[in-house]
Amino acid sequence: MTQNVVVITGAGRGLGLGLAHRFAQSSQHVVIAERDAVLGETAVATLHADGLAASFVALDVRDPAQSRALVSKVARDLGSIGVWINNAGVSHLGPAETLPQADWDDSVATMVSGTFYCCQAAGQHMLAQGRGVIINIASVTGLLHEHGRVAYSTAKAGVIALTEALGIEWASRGVRVVGIAPGVIETEMVRQTEANGHGTRAAWERRTPMRRLGTIEEIAEAALYLSSNDASYIVGETLRVDGGWTAYQLF
């Protein structure tokens, strides 16, 4: 079994599921690594219904033992891991001065530590085989800050730094670590953000030079490119896919 498997965390829905779809469509077996078993199994069923190859493995990224166990299981049952996408994230928003400790800790535990633990587990596997690509999903929020997002934005900024640090460390050993910083994308998370009063679609569209939100497919296309051999010299870089959000910075 030498099939190249793609593991995607938080792939039970939203951007993660969209990534899974795109990679499975390009003839790769996708492992849906998801904390919520119902979401995970449903996602796999959706992909199977489209004739795509996928399987579900439970994973809470906050526990390093689980990512290590997942890597062992996938390597044993399915084959070598060629691509690992760290997409799992949580959105705890609210004023910084009253943000509950649990919200801060969960944000750091999931997106900073969780991403690191997964990179470490995947990295050990990929370094041993001398090849592999890790893609970390960051966010424009980690680059340009808004009120009420301190935990999310700091964690995402941490993900960008992690991508650089691991990128330079593993580049000469066949493992490329790269990132994507999506702008505001049509997802359930964004719909929830609006429903919870933390922004409006109209405001996000107005702020984006392209005057629209991005689609999951547009993020997935960038991920597919970065994972490919065409991107063989791209290391430690986080690619912004944001409709001009961050470029339109100063006015």
Partner 1 sequence: MQLKDQIVIVTGAGRGIGLAIAEGMGREGARVVIGELILDRGEDAAAQLRASGFDAVAIQLDITQPASCRAIVERVRHDFGRLDVLVNNAGLFALHKSEDMPEEAWRLQIDVMLNGTFFMTQAAAQIMIPQHSGSIVSIASIGGMGGWPMRSAYNAAKAAVINLTETLAGEWAQYGIRVNAVSPGVTRTEMMADLIRRGISADKYANRTPIGRVAEVEEIASAVCFLASNRASYITGENLRVDGGWVPWANMNALGFPETE
- Give CA separation, 158 vs 36, 38, 58, 107, 109, in Å: 25, 30, 25, 11, 11
CB closer to partner 1, 47 vs 160 = 160
Supply the minimum distance, in Å, between the C-beta of residue 237 and partner 1: 5
**Minimal distance in Å, beta carbon 202 to partner 1?**
17
- Asked whether position 203 contacts partner 1 by CB under 8 A, the answer is no
CA distance linking residue 35 with residue 43, whole number of Å: 12
Of 136, 130, 135, nearest to 172 by C-alpha is 130
Catalogue the active-site residues.
Answer: 152
Given the structure tokens 């791209």, which residue do they identify? 234
- Cβ closer to partner 1: 3 or 225? 225
Size of the site for partner 1 (CB under 8 A): 38
| Token couple for 170 | 């593993």
Partners of residue 103 on adjacent β-strands: none
Position among 167, 190, 199, 227 found at the interface with partner 1 (CB under 8 A): 167
List, in sequence order, the alpha helices (H) in the chain: 14-25, 37-49, 64-77, 101-107, 114-129, 150-170, 188-195, 201-207, 216-227
162 Cβ partners below 8 Å, 6+ apart? 112, 115, 116, 119, 136
> Residue 39 is encoded by which pair of tokens?
């979401």
Shortest separation between residue 77's beta carbon and partner 1, angstroms? 32
Smallest separation (angstroms) from partner 1 to the CB of 190: 14
Residue from 10, 40, 89, 183 binding partner 1 (CB under 8 A): 183
Rounded to the nearest whole angstrom, what is the least distance from the CB of residue 31 to partner 1 in the complex?
Answer: 24
Site residues (CB under 8 A) for partner 1, limited to 227-246: 230-237, 239-244, 246
CB closer to partner 1, 55 vs 227:
227
Binding string, residues 35-54; x marks residues near partner 1 by CB under 8 A: --------------------
For residues 81 and 122, give the distance between their C-alpha atoms in angstroms, rounded to a whole number. Answer: 8
Residues that bind partner 1 (CB under 8 A): 164-165, 167-169, 171-172, 183, 208-211, 214-215, 218-219, 221-222, 225, 230-237, 239-244, 246-249, 251
